[in-house]
Amino acid sequence: MTQKDPKLLIQPGPQLRQQMTTPVVMRDVWYALTPATLAGIWFFGLGAFLVLLACIAGAVLVEWYFAPEEKRGYFLGDGTAILTGWLLGLTLPPALPLWMAFLGGVVAVGIGKTIWGGMGANIFNPALVGRAFLLATFPIAMTTWTAPGDFFTIPSSLFALPLMTGVVDTVTQASPLGMMKFEHIDTPFIDLLFGNTSGSLGETSGLLLILGGIYLWWRRDLDWRIPVGIIGTAVIFSLILFMVDADRYPGPVFTVFSGGMLLGAIFMATDPVTSPLTRKGTWIFAIGIGLLVVLIRVFGGFPEGIMYAILLMNAATPLIDMYTQPRVFGRELDQNE
Amino acid sequence: MAKEQLAYDEFMKGLWRENPVFVQVLGLCPLLAVTNSAINGLAMGLASFFVLLGSSILVSLFKSYIPKQVRISCFIIIIATFVTVVDYTLAAALPVIHKELGAFIPLIVANCLILGRMEAFASRNTLRMSVADAFGMGAGFLFALVSLGAVREILGVGEIFGFALFGANFEPWVIMILPPGGFITLGVMLLYFNWLEEKKNKIDKQLATEDGVN
């Protein structure tokens, strides 16, 4: 006796369903990443697209292989593996041999996520685990940046056989951060804004990354406190340093728009799995990342610090969550509070 | 005949079923520290093998004379004797490897695997069984050290026991000869062994139920 268009639905709760499911959020992030990705492919050529595909292939393959057989469609359908591979690809140099990019994708999902128990159980951002692994494993290939070049030229280093070194035949050029750190050369702001500089695939175009962030914020997929906190802290800290000695330290604008700062702050630090749950905790998390980025960049050995900054604060997240738990309503204050 | 079977069983137990590293997860400190090449793993494995065998023999011979209250100290003194022998032998015969292994040779004294076998096996079993057990556990440890060292050396520098495998264009995986590489490789190997174990248990269970039905 079921009606076609029932006036009264009788079913067990919950009757109200949240529209925001994981696949929906993941697709939003895809849309938000698309402009910056296309810009990266435009500047660095089709080779960049192949690097991205290799990362995604590695990530998806591992996700598929380790998923329970009857749930494989569901595990892949939520889009997290594709997103992890995609984000990893955006942090890689455009002339990285494809087998390394593929390995990065495998490590990102395998060691970064699956080993911890799958989505939602990992401590560290999977894409950054993949990148940290690649940076520690292939330090030379991971810091060989190519200058933006012809769209149809694919660097031959991409097709190095597995386990073999890729010989970079295109024009190499230090990234803006490297130039700043080792040679003290400033890069014009307009290049940093639109992305016409050397660097990782998807991190060069500041403007499009911010647009993607605004889209995510408008769709309520993103906690605005994290990017704002990170960038704000970095701006204040680097401004102080800049005022102390303008010749030695980069200015706040350069700090924000160079390297992976925006990509990390908007798309990686905001990963809901690896960032704190409470509001107070979120601020602590964001400020910690902002401070660490500038510290590592200015005083550390590496030109770029956003990756380690985020990974370090990921590690601190459970602790932050523990200490920022709000008092349960109706309960008395603890003795020592 | 039955006795023969038992000794063989003790040996296989140490080498495979209760492998000190892959199943019991013991002796990780030397394991992670020295396995950045296969040859170091081999030297460390042989040294531990010798110490384990020697102390097992002595402990099981003197087990009725060792007072219960001070047994640990007695075991340690016996183990330390053999470690000193190994230390001086290596320093005289293979000074390069001795230098490479450094402090980890004297530290065999504190290897929980060896003390564990003394306490759990050699002090309670006959000489014959203790020797079989020491052979098995020593071989199991050796196997783990060499396989871990081989994987790390192949990926980390593209060589095995010093022979180049891939030619000049090989891109070394720097992480593999660094400490994180040891942890990652060991983790993957443990994963594999646990997976084998699970598969075996599943098959055993299936066989058992089939037997029950028949």
CB-CB under 8 Å, B176 with A137: yes
Fold of A22-320: Ammonium transporter fold (1.10.3430)
Band of the pLDDT at B7, cuts 50, 70, 90? confident
| CB spacing of A133 vs B175 below 8 angstroms | yes
Mean pLDDT estimate for chain B: 88
Q: Which of the pair, B213 or B124, is modelled with greater confidence? A: B124
Residue A69 half-sphere exposure toward CB, CA atoms < 13 A:
0
Q: Is the pLDDT assigned to residue B4 strictly greater than 70?
A: no
- Interface check A102 vs B, CB under 8 A: no
Q: Output b/e per residue, B24-37; b: 16+ Cβ within 10 A.
A: eebbbebbbbbbbb
Put simply, the chain A residues between 158 and 187 with a CB less than 8 A from any chain B CB are 160, 163-166
Provide the number of CB pairs (under 8 Å) joining chain A to chain B: 32
A164–B178 CB contact, under 8 Å: no
Containing H/E element for A242?
Answer: helix A225-244
Task: From B91, B115, B189, B120, select the one nearest B148 (Cα to Cα).
Answer: B189
Give Cβ neighbours of residue B154 (< 8 Å, ≥ 6 apart). Answer: B160, B165
Indicate whether this model's pTM tops 0.80: yes
Contact A141 B171 (CB under 8 A): yes
Q: Cβ of B169 and A164 within 8 Å?
A: yes
Of B158, B170, B173, the CB nearest to A137: B173
- Rounded to a whole number of angstroms, the distance from the CA of A166 to the nearest CA of chain B is 8
> Looking at residue A6, what is its pLDDT?
64
Higher pLDDT, A19 or B47: B47
Q: Give the pLDDT confidence score for residue A3 in this predicted structure.
A: 55
> Distance (Å, rounded) from C-alpha A226 to C-alpha A228?
5
Closest Cα in chain A, distance from residue B31 (Å): 21
> What is residue B150's predicted lDDT score, i.e. its pLDDT?
92
Average pLDDT over residues B67-74: 92
In this complex, the residue of A111, A136, A138 whose CB is nearest that of residue B171 is A138
CA distance A241 to A223: 28
pLDDT of residue A333: 65
Residue pair A209/A266 in contact by the 8 Å Cβ criterion: yes
Cβ contact, residue pair A165, B176, below 8 Å: no
Residue spans of the domains in chain A: they are: 22-320
Residue A65 to chain B, least CA–CA distance (Å): 14
What's chain A's Rg over C-alpha atoms?
21
**Sign (positive/negative) of CA torsion A23, A26, A28, A34?**
negative
Per-residue pLDDT of chain A (337 residues; tens, 9 = 90+): 455 666 776 777 777 777 778 888 888 898 999 988 998 888 888 888 999 999 999 999 999 888 888 878 777 878 888 999 999 999 998 888 899 999 999 999 999 898 888 888 888 999 999 999 999 998 888 888 887 777 777 777 777 777 777 776 666 777 777 777 666 666 777 777 776 777 787 777 788 889 999 999 998 888 889 999 999 999 999 999 988 887 778 888 888 888 788 889 999 998 888 889 888 999 999 999 999 999 998 888 777 888 999 999 999 999 999 888 887 777 766 655 4
Q: Compute the distance between CA of residue A140 and CA of residue B173 in angstroms, rounded to an integer.
A: 11
Beta bridge partners of B164: B159
Mutate to test the interface with B, among A65, A137, A143, A311 (most CBs of B within 10 A): A137
A136 closest CB neighbour out of B158, B169, B174: B174
Cβ neighbours of B169 in A, within 8 Å:
164-165
Task: Inform me whether the pLDDT recorded for B1 exceeds 50.
Answer: no
Query: Is A267 touching B (CB cutoff 8 A)?
Result: no
- Structural domain boundaries of chain B? 2-213
**Are A136 and B176 within 8 A, CB to CB?**
no
B158 Cα to chain A: minimum distance (Å) = 9
Angle between helix axes A80-90 and A22-44 (nearest 10 degrees) is: 30
